[in-house]
Amino acid sequence: MPAADHRPGMRGELRDGEVVVGGDARQRFHDASGYGRPLEGDSIACSRVEAAHLLMRGDLEAVVDRSDSHSMGFRAFVEDSAAASDAFPVRFLVYADLRSRGFYLSPAREGWVDAANDVDFVVYPRGKGPGDGEVAYRVRAVGERASVPATALGDRTLAVVDEESSVTYFETEAVSPSGGTEGALPEGVGADLLGDRALAWDPPEALYGALFYGQPLGDRDAASVEALQLSLLEAAYLAARGAVAVDGGYDAVVDAGRAVEGDRFDRRLRAYAALREAGVVPKTGFKFGADFRTYATVSDVEDLGHSERLVRVLPADHAFLQRDLALDVRLAHGVRKEMVFALVPAGDGDVEWLAVHRLTP
Amino acid sequence: MPAADHRPGMRGELRDGEVVVGGDARQRFHDASGYGRPLEGDSIACSRVEAAHLLMRGDLEAVVDRSDSHSMGFRAFVEDSAAASDAFPVRFLVYADLRSRGFYLSPAREGWVDAANDVDFVVYPRGKGPGDGEVAYRVRAVGERASVPATALGDRTLAVVDEESSVTYFETEAVSPSGGTEGALPEGVGADLLGDRALAWDPPEALYGALFYGQPLGDRDAASVEALQLSLLEAAYLAARGAVAVDGGYDAVVDAGRAVEGDRFDRRLRAYAALREAGVVPKTGFKFGADFRTYATVSDVEDLGHSERLVRVLPADHAFLQRDLALDVRLAHGVRKEMVFALVPAGDGDVEWLAVHRLTP
């Protein structure tokens, strides 16, 4: 049913992509409900998305196109707006979803609000509106089939509209891994490359037990040979520091890594090394489909807590597919870890870290 | 420490890729512990993997190469075996892992056991051995970087050795979705294509409420227009059956789908239709990074249980990357759903369904 203060017959006029609403629109729609931007007098200018929402709610009865005077109800205005911009359906659905969650929000159109690039909406804290100068989320609205460059993320909320028009929100932020794992590395532990892994023989106990490199081979209670299985990443990192001695040295390990993973091995090694240098222990994230799970501080593997983060390593120019992002973030959420993407530049330069969380606004 | 019955000095002889062990090896290693295959007398022939395991345990002291009489301990034999076959390290790690879990198992080498293709080991039920004629798992051992064709799966256990040499097991089996969702479709509900989705106007209530097509648009308690948001898959399926009427008909919907997804749209539509025809309701699996979540039986969306399965649609000639498989299966496990892959043939022919579970042997 229409709201009690619904005024049948209220109309907007479509001019240059905006919908101008007169009468007492400023007080009724802007001041009281956060729609549009004030014009002179009591009129406001609404974006198409806002006008469509007012039409859907029955607060506007029609929008009249100034150029040809034809009058549009909700269905016709939605069709007209979708024809005018491919981005309209997705933006409208995000706008409507945030409204239904009790937020006021403004399109981040140039001149409307002070917004950075790559933002579609500025969302105000619940109970606040356009005039209060506070921002809860800067939202970019995309369809699930859109790809979004990693460089456009961080300090943004991504609102993804899936094919059935539900909206999933991802909060993205830059982070800096740091941990407290420390201890001296041994020197020249003998190791063999065996296909896409390595075996270190008779390593000092601390290499595994305190620093958490590798995995012991064999049953611990059998008369087993003392050997430590190392990943090629671990072997390369340790070989570069003289801690393990492999035939052919560091280069042979990196060659073995590149043979099975190509450039990806170099990227992963840079992320691995950056984490170790920050005192964080990266171990394989294979069981979670990630590159690493990480432990901020390890002092004794017998007394190991849960890993805190999952890390996927990507080239810095990576563009995220929303379905892949949803998969990673949902999995991390389910195992109570934080999903972090390591973005590795092609040239020199530091690895950057992007944390992504699911958000329920 | 060596086991009490360890006999120092017991040696094997490497002949043509097998290790022959004499003395009382048949009774000691085969009959009592499931190693090797019996030869004449009390000798046995072990695969390299089995011999390496006996060396690691200290049950064999050395293997002597018949061709040049040089003697190898565990480390030398492992290096020699890895040089002889790239597959050795991964197969050895899987063999050792299953042994440490209390299983006896045999290499599925031709002439050794009666095994189908694509199987590395035949694993016997706990407490059983090679002579008992029972099989618990048919195991294929792969490294995490290997890709495995979908056609090689089903009735197989995949043992994946990750880069740190831990083993993850996936059970694969063919399944047939079936459900009990039924009800007549309406005729000719008017709908508009809006980018990569559709809106149906004034649909009969049962289309959403009983058959679970689409999602209602707008706040339910506002004076909202009655419209149902449909995915392009839903719109195409309904248009093909005359249930919705879109400008340009079914072809226009499929064109819109192909424009945003290419061939993938056709594959997903075939899987979608096969599920609906089987009485199963597929809805988007976006929040789980999948193509669909499915409900076997829906009669009222107000009384909807949890979806039972996640479905990812793939071409039938797809080769699985182990990390992707681990991600999907781990996520499904975490949300208590079954992960199912829909394998869609390029030509005519039925969609096949492959369920994959994590297994702890």
pLDDT band at A274 (very low <50, low <70, confident <90, very high): very high
Q: pLDDT tens for residues A26-61?
A: 999 999 999 999 998 999 999 999 999 999 999 999
Within 8 A of B164 by CB-CB distance, chain A residues are: 214-215, 229-231, 234, 283-284, 286
Q: pLDDT tens for residues B155-212?
A: 899 999 999 999 999 999 999 999 999 999 999 999 999 989 999 999 999 999 999 9
- Greatest mean pLDDT among B7-21, B29-43, B97-111: B29-43
Within 8 A of A214 by CB-CB distance, chain B residues are: 164
* Contact indicator for B106, B121 with CB cutoff of 8 Å: yes
Mutate to test the interface with B, among A10, A164, A268 (most CBs of B within 10 A): A164
Q: pLDDT tens for residues A86-114?
A: 999 999 999 999 999 999 999 987 655 55
Q: Which residues contact A227 (CB under 8 A, 6 or more apart)?
A: A199, A200, A201, A202, A203, A216, A217, A218, B75
Q: Which of B89, B100, B199 sits opposite A195 (nearest CB)?
A: B89
pLDDT for position B283: 98
Strand-pair partners of B349:
none
pLDDT for position A18: 94
Sheet with B281-284, strands from edge to edge, namely: B105-107, B121-123, B137-143, B156-161, B167-175, B352-359, B338-344, B309-315, B292-295, B281-284
pLDDT band at B222 (very low <50, low <70, confident <90, very high): very low
Evaluate if residue B347 carries a pLDDT over 70.
Answer: yes
Q: pLDDT tens for residues B49-59?
A: 999 999 999 99
- SS3 (DSSP) at A289: coil
pLDDT for position A118: 81
Q: pLDDT tens for residues A313-355?
A: 999 999 999 999 999 999 999 999 999 999 999 999 999 999 9
Evaluate if residue A234 carries a pLDDT over 90.
Answer: yes
Pairing of strands B37-38, B18-21: unpaired
Active site residues of B: 295, 306, 337
Q: Which of A213, A237, A295, A318 is catalytic?
A: A295
Find the mean pLDDT for residues A213-232.
77
pLDDT for position B223: 47
Find the mean pLDDT for residues A152-178.
95
Q: What torsion, rounded to 10 degrees, do the Cα atoms A306, A309, A310, A313 define?
A: -140
Q: What's the rounded Cα separation, in Å, for the pair B129 and A201?
A: 33
Within 8 A of B224 by CB-CB distance, chain A residues are: 56-58
Q: What's the rounded Cα separation, in Å, for the pair B338 and B177?
A: 12
pLDDT for position A37: 92
Tell me whether residue A305 is exposed, middle or buried, using C-beta atoms within 10 angstroms of its C-beta: 0 to 12, 13 to 18, 19 or more.
exposed
Find the mean pLDDT for residues B129-147.
92
Instruction: Copy the structure tokens of residue B143.
Output: 């490294």
* Interface list for A 136-155 with B (CB within 8 A): 143-145
pLDDT for position A176: 97
Evaluate if residue B117 carries a pLDDT over 70.
Answer: no
Could you tell me what percent of chain A has a pLDDT over 70? Answer: 94
Pick the more confident residue, A299 or A6.
Answer: A299
Evaluate if residue A203 carries a pLDDT over 90.
Answer: yes
Q: Among A152-166, B112-126, B295-309, which is the least confidently predicted range?
A: B112-126
